[in-house]
Amino acid sequence: MKHTTTVLASAIAVVALAGCASAPSPAELQAQFDAMMKASFRDEGIAKVDRLTQDAGQAACSTGQAPTAEQAKAIEAEAMATIKPPSDGKYLGDWREGEKLAQNGRGMTWTDKSADTSANGANCYNCHQITKAEISYGTIGPSLYQFGKLRGVTNPSAPEAQAMVQYTWGKLNNAWAYNACSNMPRFGHKKLLSEQQLKHVMALLLDPASPVNAQ
């Protein structure tokens, strides 16, 4: 019995060695992986295989290792440059619509008729606690309950509130501007939500009348 085990172990060692001799280089492995990914998907409705194409930031964030401080700075600067203020200068919509969007996790699927975002939800509860009324939420992101209140926004149109209003707008538009490689979807940048939808979610977080900021 012992003998058989030894023979087997040696056979495995030989196979392993042979494997090493012709091991593909990391570049070859990457090429094989890319080819496998391409072969595994096809265009279907609005969902096109170009979703597999990574921009420079996504590639830097997908290595399995945290970006270096220098890379992170470059990714954040690039993301910051994509953020534009709302076209009419108004940052807040209707928190009730914002709550509906936050609850809704659908969109971007091949059965959607068009790439128009009106069918999309924002899926915020999937990662965040937001109101006290909703007890089912994910915890990948920090709790946003009392967000406006805790950040000192008692009147979102007051001059002293503008820094926080603009930060929140930036975060929703392109979360990487403040945190390279964050798991938070880049709602504005990736056109997951329209400007109006973003304003509604803004109101959910910052309107003093929103249940987020209730006692």
Q: Which residues bind ligand HEC (CB under 6 A)?
A: 102, 122-124, 126-128, 140-142, 144, 168, 171-172, 175, 179, 182-185, 187, 201, 205
**Closest separation in Å from C-beta 176 to ligand HEC:** 8
Residues 84 and 195 sit within 8 Å (Cβ to Cβ): no
User: Which residue's CB is nearer to ligand HEC, number 67 or number 141?
Assistant: 141
User: Which residue's CB is nearer to ligand HEC, number 11 or number 95?
Assistant: 95
**Closest separation in Å from C-beta 195 to ligand HEC:** 13
User: Which residue's CB is nearer to ligand HEC, number 22 or number 139?
Assistant: 139
Q: What is the Cα–Cα distance from 47 to 53, expressed in whole angstroms? A: 13
User: In degrees to the nearest 10, what's the CA dihedral of 19, 22, 23, 26?
Assistant: 180
**Closest separation in Å from C-beta 202 to ligand HEC:** 8
Residue 97: CB partners within 8 Å, gap ≥ 6? 197, 200, 203
**Closest separation in Å from C-beta 162 to ligand HEC:** 16
User: Which residue's CB is nearer to ligand HEC, number 182 or number 210?
Assistant: 182
**Closest separation in Å from C-beta 199 to ligand HEC:** 11
- For the stretch 42-45, contacts whose Cβ atoms lie closer than 8 Å and that sit 24 or more positions apart, written own/partner, are 44/110, 45/109, 45/110, 45/111, 45/112
Residue 39: CB partners within 8 Å, gap ≥ 6? none
User: Which residue's CB is nearer to ligand HEC, number 24 or number 138?
Assistant: 138
